[in-house]
Structure 1
Amino acid sequence: MNIERLSENGKSRRKYDSPTRRDQAEATRARIAEAARRTFIERGWTATRVRDVAAEAGVSEATVFAIHGNKAGLAKALVESVDLTADIPRLISELKSAEGDPAAQMSAMVGMDRRLFERGGDVLTLMQEARRSEPEVAAAYLEGRARGDESRRRMFATWPENEFRDGVTAESARDMYAALCNIDVYRVLTEERGWDADRVEQWWRETLVRLLVAEDG
Structure 2
Amino acid sequence: MEERSEARSYDSPRRLAQANRTRAEIADAARRLFVSQGWAATTVRDVAREAGVSVPTVYAAYQNKTGLVWALADAADLSADPPRMLAELDREPAPARQLAAMAAYDRRLFERAGDLILLVREAGRTEPDLDGVYRQARREADGIRRQVFSSWPGGVLRQGLDIPGAVDSYAALCNIDVYTTLTVERAWTPDRVEQWWGEALSRELLTRPDSP
TM-score calculated relative to the size of structure 1: 0.82
CA distance in 2, matches of 1:214, 1:27: 53
Aligned equivalents of 2:63 and 2:97: distance in 1? 43
The structure 1 residue matched to 2:4, chosen from 13, 16, 19, is 13
Q: 1-side partners of 2:181 and 2:45: how far apart?
A: 33
* Structure 1 residues 128 and 84: CA distance shift in structure 2, 3 A: closer
CA contact (8 A) 1:168 1:212 kept: yes
Q: Deviations over 1:158-201 (max 9, x none)?
A: 22233222222222211111111101111111222222211111
Measured after TM superposition, the shift of residue 105 of structure 1 is 1.1
Structure showing the higher strand proportion among its residues = 1
Report the counterpart of residue 173 of structure 1 in structure 2: 166
CA separation of 1:20 and 1:87: change in aligned 2, threshold 3 A:
farther
Q: Where does the alignment leave 5 or more consecutive residues of structure 2 unmatched? A: none
Seen in structure 2, the aligned counterparts of structure 1 residues 33 and 87 have a Cα distance that, compared at 3 Å, is farther
Query: Which residue, out of 9, 25, 32, partners 2:26?
Result: 32
Select which of 69, 87, 95 maps to 1:102.
95
Question: Partners of 1:25 and 1:160 in 2: how far apart?
Answer: 54
Distance 2:20 2:144 in 1: 29
Unaligned stretches of 5+ in structure 1?
1-6
Structure with more contact order per residue of length (Cα contacts < 8 Å, sep ≥ 6) = 2
Amino acid at match of 1:76: W
Aligned residues: 207
Counterpart selection for 1:52 from 46, 52, 73: 46
Q: Distance in 2 between matches of 1:154 and 1:29?
A: 38
Counterpart in the other structure of 1:212: 205
TM-score by length of 2: 0.84
For the aligned residues, what is the CA RMSD? 2.6
Q: Does 1:199 align with 2:192?
A: yes
